[in-house]
Chain A
Amino acid sequence: MKALAPRTLDEALLQLTQTPDLRPLAGCTDLMVSEPEDRRDWSGVLDLRGISELRGIEWRGETLEIGAVTAFSEIRDSPEVRQSFPALAEAASRIGGWQIQNRASLGGNMANASPAGDSLPVLLVLDAQVVLVGPEGKRSVPYRDFHLGYRQTALGPGEIIGWVQLPKPPVGATQFFRKVGTREAQAISKVVVALLASVSDGQISDYRLAAGSVAETPVRLTEVEESIVGRALKPEVADLAGHLAAQAVRPIDDVRSTAEYRRFALAQVVRRMTLQLVR
């Protein structure tokens, strides 16, 4: 097996150009949950953890840039994230326990592309941009175009996620994050919801809603957003938002939950988040 641990991004890209089917390794919290025999069959691995360019959190003008290999513990504790993107800090603090957070990366959560990935609905409502790097160079894609289908992403052969860019949220916007699981820590979400909303002159002026575990990919619920923006902020709006959200998704039954429960939980969470705007 080819096992490479480059120190720089240039070195990594050279390797990926020569051998596009190298498997990138980040925190390995998804990858190592596999059969040992399968891991031995992989043709090659490329460890990204030694590449300092891919780690860290930094403002670049009006955009917060997070390296794809940055661990959730760092995101959870980052003053920049807590200040401007509290929903992301909250999601980071709910992903597994401490030991998982010390290793699990934001890029790994995205590339693994589970519909239940907890950070993903948050990135959707924050209108994140993703910078991909690979043999063909660098390209930037809106995160909402990153997930193409069940566990399918926009990553091309030999391409890796380099950075996630978060535009500064509108002044006065409120952010919410909530995951519903069997217990508080370590549980894969039955439903996970993120909302960013602003109110001005008694009206909902911005309403961005996304959810996970309710479709093949994490989804922005644009139909709900369109119906809610511009409405007067009253408790009935919260009921309507919950109702519309439940209508907008096509969840499945699986070992963790039923479609019916997921719709119900989504409606409840959306209703409560929206009610908090009223108060």
Chain B
Amino acid sequence: MKSELFVNGKSRVVEGHPMDRLLDILRDELGLIGTKEGCGEGECGACTVLMNGEPVLSCLIPRIQCEAATVETVEGLAAAEARAFLEGFVSDGGVQCGACTPGIIVTALALLRDNPHPDRQEVQTALAGNLCRCTGYEGIHRAFDRGAEDE
């Protein structure tokens, strides 16, 4: 099947099997390899993108449900609103191996859009579906805390 979706503000027309994953459409068909595959089963959050503004797991979304959708990936988000947050994220130790980072950034930015000053509990709730095996989340929380201080 053929479908049109709007990825990072641009119209893209893609074609393939109706049950292909959005993750593969982004990476293989559109070359947007910033979105990572971790588990491929919904458990890790590495493949998180925004679909119609909401964080979702691109490994669990079939092509048939992408028609006319607005998709924002880490590439689009990092280029725009995320600069300052990203720099803090790196310098505060939010990144170690980096496997979880694109997914965490996407979820974090979705949270900050709705709630510019989340407390620790709110950050924790938002990131419950993003697994990080390296940082213990401390550096990630620091990046949020600093975001709040900087204002």
Q: Chain A: residues with CB nearer than 8 A to chain B? A: 1, 3, 5, 25, 27-29, 32-33, 36, 39-40, 42, 45, 47, 49, 73, 96-100, 102-103, 184-186
Give B contacts to A, CB under 8 Å: 1, 17-19, 21, 41-43, 45, 48, 54-57, 59-62, 64-65, 67, 107, 110, 125-130
A residues less than 8 Å from B45 (CB atoms): 97, 99
Give A184's nearest chain B residue, CB to CB.
B128
Complex A-B: 14 CB contacts under 8 Å: A29-B57, A32-B42, A32-B62, A36-B19, A36-B21, A45-B18, A47-B65, A97-B128, A99-B45, A99-B55, A99-B56, A100-B57, A103-B60, A186-B43
Task: Give the CA-CA distance A100 to B54 in the complex, in Å.
Answer: 11
What separation, in Å, do the CA atoms of A25 and B125 have in the docked complex?
27
Pick from A39, A45, A102, A185: contact of B56, CB under 8 Å = A102
Chain A residues closer than 8 Å to B65, beta-carbon distance? 5, 25, 28, 47, 49
Q: What are the nearest 8 A-B pairs in CB distance?
A: A97-B129, A185-B128, A3-B18, A97-B128, A32-B60, A39-B19, A102-B54, A99-B57
- Measured between C-beta atoms, what is the minimum distance from A179 to chain B in Å? 13
* Contact of B130 (CB < 8 Å), options: A32, A40, A97, A103: A97
Contact indicator A25/B64 (Cβ below 8 Å): yes
A5 partner residues in chain B, CB cutoff 8 A: 64-65, 67
Interface pair B64/A45, CB less than 8 Å apart: yes
**Contact of A40 with B67 in the complex, beta carbons under 8 Å:** no
Beyond the given A1-B18, A32-B59, please list 16 additional residue pairs across the A-B interface where CB-CB is below 8 A.
A1-B17, A45-B62, A73-B54, A96-B42, A97-B45, A97-B128, A97-B129, A98-B55, A98-B107, A98-B129, A99-B56, A102-B56, A103-B61, A185-B125, A185-B128, A185-B129
Q: Which of B17, B19, B48, B67 has the most CB of A within 10 A?
A: B19
Residues of chain A within 8 A of B125, CB atoms compared: 98, 185
Contacts of A102 in B (CB 8 A): 54-56
Interface-central residue, B42, B59, B107, B127, by most chain A CB under 10 Å? B42
Most buried by B among A1, A25, A99: A99
Closest chain B CB from A189 CB (angstroms): 15
Contacts of A49 in B (CB 8 A): 65
Q: A5-B64, A32-B61, A33-B41 are in contact. Are A99 and B17 (CB under 8 A)?
A: no
Nearest-neighbor residue (CB-CB) of B60 within chain A: A32
| Contact status A99-B18, CB under 8 Å | no
The residues of A that contact B130 with a CB separation of less than 8 Å are 97
- CB–CB A3/B1 < 8 A: yes
CB of B67 within 8 A of CB of A1, answer: no
Complex CA distance for A99 and B53, rounded to whole angstroms: 11
Q: When chains A and B are docked, how far (Å) is the Cα of A39 from the Cα of B64?
A: 13
Residues in A whose Cβ lies below 8 Å from that of B17:
1, 40
Residues on A with beta carbons closer than 8 Å to the beta carbon of B56: 99, 102-103
Contact present for A98 and B42 (CB under 8 Å): no
* A99 with B107, Cβ < 8 A, contacts A5-B67, A39-B19 known: yes
The reply to whether B62 and A25 contact each other, CB–CB distance below 8 Å, is yes
Say which residue of A39, A42, A99 sits within 8 Å of B129 (CB atoms): A99
**Distance between B114 CB and nearest chain A CB, rounded to angstroms:** 11
| B57: chain A residues within 8 A (beta carbon) | 29, 99-100, 103
Give A185 to B127 CA distance when docked, in angstroms: 10
Cβ of B61 and Cβ of A28 under 8 Å apart? Answer: yes
Contact in complex: B19, A45 (CB < 8 Å): yes
A102 to B125, CA, bound (A): 13
A184 to B61, CA, bound (A): 25
Does B62 contact A28, Cβ atoms closer than 8 Å?
yes
CA distance A185 to B61 in the complex (A): 21
Collect the chain A residues with CB atoms within 8 Å of residue B18's CB.
1, 3, 45
